[in-house]
Amino acid sequence: MYQSVETFILDIPTIRPHKLPMTTMQVQTLVLVKITAADGTVGWGEATTIGGLGYGEESPESIKTNIDTYFAPLVLTSKAKNIAQLRKLINQSINGNRFAKCAVQTALLDIWAKQLNLPLSEVLGGRLRDSVPVLWVLASGDTDKDIAEAKAMIEKKRHNIFKLKIGAKSVKEDVAHVIAIKKALGDSASIRVDVNRAWSELECIDGIAKLQDGGIDLIEQPCAINQIDTLTRLTKRFDVAIMADEVLTGPDSAYKLAKCHAADVFAVKIEQSGGLLEACEVANIARLAGIDVYGGTMLEGAVGTIASAHVFSTFESLPYATELFAPLLLTKEILTTPLVYSDFELQVPKDAGLGIEIDETKVKELTRK
């Protein structure tokens, strides 16, 4: 059914330093997967991490090596009659590797949707919206610069929801930074924070109380991944919404978190979930448990971002919007026609498959030698 599987590592500079608790990004590294079916139909997928191994267990280098060494032979020799059978074979044969699995699955779904002449969202159950709201992450680390950047985004009608990455400094410094930005923007913007699992429980109690009083709308992953009991206590203690992120690693973890209502909101990410189909399962578990969802990102480029948008377009509600801004953070374009951002939202393509066209000349130019 498939004639080739190719992988490419691309290093693309960012428009400005992007400061996170675990690293400061000046370059984003994408892993692109190109699968060609027997009939010549081409599908694309993407696996992108943050800071190499600074964020998770997979790096761009390991993703490429594992796809080339383990995934490709399975795909090329499989006698599976459909994606469901091939997905089952991959999961039975390869442990872990959620990001790599997502990239391969995305390319396979892109092919399938193209062969059916349907947008990918329709293959995933059908879109409920043609665009998704998108926030912007303020991560210069400088309060005045962040305020100016946010005001410029509001003026352009590109973003009016902002998230701040905190946790690298003291709780006092981080809270002061966030509150100053909220005061400067007032009711013209929604402000959220991502603590990136940096605070102890006592720091969480102190910091979240002050952020709640300061009008902050959402607190993302304030404590460590393994501290589910702490996350549960914080969710019950505060009125401000607490969101689970890194602790979510697919449907199994979503079910465990939902059972004890450990969070008010789930950050659904296609790569952390292990694939687009798994991300839909995470969202369904959240819906059944009465937990809100948020469209998360691993700061993917255009391929992973639009794949996520197709998934998020099928969700019954997106009360906390999405974080699909990352292509705007990159200095180089790999599509023949860029993604469309307007009126604070990202448009979901209506063409078959992912609905995008890769500029393979640009991919070749940016591929790591």
Question: Do residues 2 and 41 lie in contact, with contact meaning Cβ atoms separated by under 8 Å?
Answer: no
The CATH code for residues 123-347 is 3.20.20.120
Whole-angstrom Cα distance, residue 242 to residue 123?
Answer: 32
Question: Do residues 325 and 136 lie in contact, with contact meaning Cβ atoms separated by under 8 Å?
Answer: yes
pLDDT score, position 37: 97
> Could you give the percent of the chain with pLDDT greater than 70?
99
Residue 20 has pLDDT above 80, yes or no: no
87 burial level (CB within 10 Å; 0-12, 13-18, 19+): buried
Residue 22 has pLDDT above 70, yes or no: no
From-to residues of CATH 3.30.390.10 in the chain: 2-117+359-366
At residue 21 the predicted structure's pLDDT band, cuts being 50, 70 and 90, is low
Residue 45 DSSP SS3: strand
Q: What angle do CA 227, 230, 236 make, to 5 degrees?
A: 145
Average pLDDT, the chain: 95
pLDDT tens digits for range 260-293: 999 999 999 999 999 999 999 999 999 999 999 9
The set of residues, in sequence order, having a beta carbon less than 8 Å from that of 205 and lying 6+ positions away, is 234, 237
pLDDT tens digits for range 161-203: 999 999 989 999 999 999 999 999 999 999 999 998 999 999 9
Q: How large is the average pLDDT for residues 313-326?
A: 96
Answering whether pTM is above 0.85, one says yes
Topology, domain 2-117+359-366: Enolase-like; domain 1 (3.30.390)
pLDDT score, position 309: 98
The set of residues, in sequence order, having a beta carbon less than 8 Å from that of 231 and lying 6+ positions away, is 222, 223, 242, 244, 247, 257, 262, 263
From-to residues of CATH 3.20.20.120 in the chain: 123-347
At residue 1 the predicted structure's pLDDT band, cuts being 50, 70 and 90, is confident
Catalytic (active-site) positions: 165, 323
pLDDT tens digits for range 137-156: 998 788 999 999 999 999 98
Residue owning tokens 């399938």 = 112
Structure token digits, residue 325: 């801004």
Whole-angstrom Cα distance, residue 199 to residue 181?
Answer: 21
